[in-house]
Amino acid sequence: MTMKYRIGYLAAVAATAFAIAASMPVAAASGPAEIQAALDAAYAKYRDLQEGANADYIPALAKVDSKIFGIALVTPDGRVYTAGDVKSEVSIQSISKVFTMARVIEDEGLDAIEKRIGVDATGMRFNSIVSVEFAQKALGGPEINPLVNPGAITATSMVQGATRAEVWKRILDFHSDFAGRPLSVNKEVYESEAATNHRNQAIGALMYAYGFIKSDPAQATDVYTEQCSISVNAKDLATMAATLANGGKNPVTGKQVMKSENVPGVLAVMATAGLYDDSGKWLYHTGLPAKSGVGGGIIAVAPGKFGIAVISPPLDAAGNSVRAQKAITLISNSLGGNPYAARSAR
């Protein structure tokens, strides 16, 4: 090797080393003590924050204890870090949309979601009927996506199964595999939402009328309502997020829950639409694909680094937990979670 080539070779090795260091898992870049300290600091900082209010358009959600505040972070090596109340459970609500979308992608491939529903942000509220009107293929308007209600109810209608019971089992089992334990439904929340979800029933009917849903829309809306009522704690949600951060393999149970090649598509929709009309703001501050639920949970995924979840029921005007947004932002940024924040090579 001549001197010129040797210098070029060494430069290439150094560049590779820098690139690897820049994308190093947080477990290697931040030790367990730093991760725990980041969780503890966020918990202490926001424990007494009282902004926002529980969702009340689903009557059972108004009764949930607003003080619940739990933080969990799971790394690809299966370590679980927690702060605050990680035992209390809330209903998963819209966070389930991520996993039902993933179920459909696993069954039918990435194209199925893109072609039938779309993968663009609507910029509108999660249960906007205007977005459905715009999305009519005949009008050629902007698309929707599987993380807003019209797209989510459509995704639920696409889950394979000969009977309602079979469809439901495939959805619940899939969520349980992500969480690493058998999950169950909060019956009170399910019944409360089923008795009051006329708007979602209308959305389901419209999606059927416009040809997006091709089976019974009432059943699709009902199964969607049940999936939103799955009961989870912060650790469940963090493990679900960490499974996405770990290429579809649950880092705690070791089970490959979904194909690694399908994960980036799921994360892309989370990045563009996970926090609804506030998704841009969220991405601007964290860079993380995330998903919120009106039960008060938010999950966020730092690919290759960690999955994090916070539960705190009081929501802001867009329907996203106030304390969860603040705590995840603080923790992720202090641990170098933002995938856009690469270090300079020199």
Q: Which residues bind ligand DON (CB under 6 A)?
A: 93-94, 126-127, 149, 193, 200, 228, 292-294, 319-320
Residue closest to ligand DON, measured at CB:
94
* Shortest distance, position 202 Cβ to ligand DON, whole Å: 12
Q: Is the distance from CB of 290 to CB of 274 less than 8 angstroms? A: yes
| Residues whose CB falls within 8 Å of the CB of residue 100, separated by 6 or more in sequence, listed in order | 146, 152, 155, 156, 159, 171, 174, 224, 227
Compute the Cα dihedral for 103, 109, 115, 118 and give only its sign.
positive
* Shortest distance, position 294 Cβ to ligand DON, whole Å: 4
CA angle at 72 for the pair 75 and 188, rounded to the nearest 5°: 130
Strand pairing report for 90-91 and 231-232: antiparallel
DSSP one-letter code for 169 = H
CA 144 to chain centre: 17
The residues facing 81 across adjacent strands are 73
DSSP one-letter string for 212-223: S--S-HHHHHHH
Question: What tokens were used for 162?
Answer: 């000969």
| Residues whose CB falls within 8 Å of the CB of residue 33, separated by 6 or more in sequence, listed in order | none
* Shortest distance, position 156 Cβ to ligand DON, whole Å: 11
Q: CB-wise, 125 or 285, nearer to ligand DON?
A: 125
* Shortest distance, position 191 Cβ to ligand DON, whole Å: 13
Q: CB-wise, 279 or 292, nearer to ligand DON?
A: 292
* Shortest distance, position 291 Cβ to ligand DON, whole Å: 8
Q: CB-wise, 100 or 127, nearer to ligand DON?
A: 127
* Shortest distance, position 61 Cβ to ligand DON, whole Å: 9
Q: CB-wise, 293 or 303, nearer to ligand DON?
A: 293
CA 197 to chain centre: 22
Q: CB-wise, 180 or 296, nearer to ligand DON?
A: 296
Q: CB-wise, 221 or 246, nearer to ligand DON?
A: 221
Q: How far apart are CA 303 and CA 134, in angstroms?
A: 33
* Shortest distance, position 233 Cβ to ligand DON, whole Å: 17
Q: CB-wise, 217 or 293, nearer to ligand DON?
A: 293
3-state secondary structure 167-184: HHHHHHHHHHHHHCCCCC
Q: CB-wise, 80 or 205, nearer to ligand DON?
A: 205
Question: What tokens were used for 158?
Answer: 């696409």
What φ, ψ does residue 285 adopt, rounded to 5°? -90, -20
* No. of helices (H) and no. of strands (E), the chain: 16, 7
First to last CA, the chain: 25
* Shortest distance, position 109 Cβ to ligand DON, whole Å: 26
* Shortest distance, position 184 Cβ to ligand DON, whole Å: 17
Q: CB-wise, 175 or 305, nearer to ligand DON?
A: 175
| Residues whose CB falls within 8 Å of the CB of residue 136, separated by 6 or more in sequence, listed in order | 210
